[in-house]
């Protein structure tokens, strides 16, 4: 199965946690957190359409300046999502610079702030020297903050001493191409298949697709596709190991294909984890099992364990496997 999007951590486990998501058939990408991301080249950054910020501690937000600088000349807006305070944080970044000669720059930022069960969206345009323009303020639809044809993003508010957002990226369904059906209908493989997928996601079944000189309605081409379950990706960083946080993360990330999750301390240092409001490796593994995720990928490990990374990773995976086996055998 050819995936709709690819994802990877930008940095190692001891560096700033960042996950980059690239859509294969679309020239765009998403970024989860914006710490120091020197490993991303300009082309990858220019693909960004959405930035999801868990919170604005420096290791999750210092890279925003680089994003801003590289995208100033771009027409396509950048949509930024974050917890309570994200709008002031973005404005604080912008107010640190002088913008008297940027009226010709086209960049627009749309900043969406999640607070409680509501969301407020503010537009900041370079053409207006990044002055605030309120766009929307109202209730969230469930926990969904973005919903498009090819993906949606949900979030939950977690506690880290400050409000932090955990995120899940979901593909509503996956569209596979049946090559045997293509051969049977004597249709070629080509770029038209990507266009067909897009039209199906948009529900445009009467739209016309040109294929090798012929014209077909989308409804006539459904034989060449197979609809399967979409991908689900979880991203959770910086959350106190409390029962409330754990349950919120489990509910959000349930049945994820991959869960990126912080594993800041080992269980032996649980008291330190409680004081600093970070998950332990053991708690991360337990969460992955409780949420029935297929794969768990630890990130954001304390530099304290730089000389023994295998200790942290082993604790995550051992707990994940043991807890998964226990939960499976109990029938839950």
**Tell me: the pLDDT tens digits for 192-211?**
888 888 888 778 889 989 88
Quick check: 53 and 163 in contact, CB under 8 A?
no
State the pLDDT confidence band at 1, using cuts at 50, 70 and 90. low
Quick check: 38 and 67 in contact, CB under 8 A?
no
Residues sharing a CB contact under 8 Å with residue 285, sequence separation 6 or more, in sequence order: 263, 296, 315, 316, 317, 318, 319, 320, 322, 323
Nearest CA-CA partner of 293 in 236, 223, 239, 216: 236
Top mean pLDDT of 183-192, 226-235, 258-267 is at 258-267
The fraction of the chain above a pLDDT of 70, given in percent, is: 99
Per-residue pLDDT at 158 exceeds 60: yes
Which pLDDT score, from 0 to 100, does residue 332 have?
Answer: 59
Instruction: Name which residue leads in pLDDT, 15 or 195.
Output: 15
| Per-residue model confidence as pLDDT tens digits over 100-113 | 888 889 999 999 99
The fraction of the chain above a pLDDT of 90, given in percent, is: 74
Which pLDDT score, from 0 to 100, does residue 225 have?
Answer: 85
Per-residue pLDDT at 3 exceeds 80: no
pTM of the entire structure?
0.90
DSSP 8-state code for residue 59: H
Quick check: 298 and 19 in contact, CB under 8 A?
no
All structural domains of the chain: 1-171 (3.60.15.10), 173-229 (no CATH), 239-332 (no CATH)
State the pLDDT confidence band at 224, using cuts at 50, 70 and 90. confident
Per-residue pLDDT at 121 exceeds 80: yes
- Spell out the SS3 assignment of 2-27: CCCEEEEECCCCCCCCCEEEEECCCC
Average pLDDT, the chain: 94
The beta strand positions in 140-177, using DSSP E, are 144-147, 152-159, 163-170, 173-177
Quick check: 137 and 108 in contact, CB under 8 A?
no
Which pLDDT score, from 0 to 100, does residue 2 have?
Answer: 67
- Average of pLDDT values for 155-161? 98
| Per-residue model confidence as pLDDT tens digits over 60-82 | 999 999 999 999 999 999 999 99
């Amino acid at each position: 199965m050819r995936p709709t999007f690819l994802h990877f951590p930008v940095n190692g486990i001891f560096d700033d946690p960042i996950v980059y998501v690239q859509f294969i058939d679309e020239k765009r990408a998403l970024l989860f957190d914006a710490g120091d991301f020197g490993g991303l080249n300009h082309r990858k950054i220019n693909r960004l359409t959405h930035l999801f910020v868990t919170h604005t501690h420096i290791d999750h937000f210092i890279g925003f300046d680089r994003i801003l600088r590289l995208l100033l000349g771009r027409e396509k807006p950048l949509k930024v999502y974050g917890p309570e305070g994200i709008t002031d944080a973005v404005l604080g970044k912008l107010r640190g610079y002088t913008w008297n000669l940027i009226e010709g720059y086209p960049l627009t930022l749309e900043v969406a702030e999640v607070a409680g069960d509501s969301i407020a969206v503010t537009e900041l345009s370079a053409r207006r020297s990044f002055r605030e323009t309120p766009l929307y303020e109202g209730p969230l639809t469930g926990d969904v903050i973005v919903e498009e044809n090819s993906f949606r993003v949900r979030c939950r508010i977690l506690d880290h001493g400050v409000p932090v957002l955990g995120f899940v990226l979901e593909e509503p369904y996956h569209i596979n191409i049946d090559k045997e059906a293509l051969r049977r209908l004597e249709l070629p493989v080509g770029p038209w298949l990507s266009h067909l997928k897009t039209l199906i996601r948009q529900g445009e079944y009467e739209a016309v697709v040109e294929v090798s000189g012929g014209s077909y309605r989308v409804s006539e081409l459904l034989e060449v596709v197979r609809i399967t379950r979409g991908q689900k990706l979880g991203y959770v960083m910086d959350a106190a190991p409390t029962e409330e946080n754990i349950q919120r993360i489990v509910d959000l990330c349930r049945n994820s294909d991959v869960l990126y999750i912080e594993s800041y301390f080992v269980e032996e240092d649980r008291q330190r984890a409680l004081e600093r409001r970070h998950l332990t490796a053991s708690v991360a593994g337990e969460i992955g099992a409780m949420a029935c995720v297929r794969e768990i990928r630890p990130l954001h490990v304390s530099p304290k364990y730089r000389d023994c990374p295998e200790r942290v990773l082993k604790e995550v995976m051992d707990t994940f496997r043991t807890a998964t086996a226990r939960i499976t055998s109990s029938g839950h």
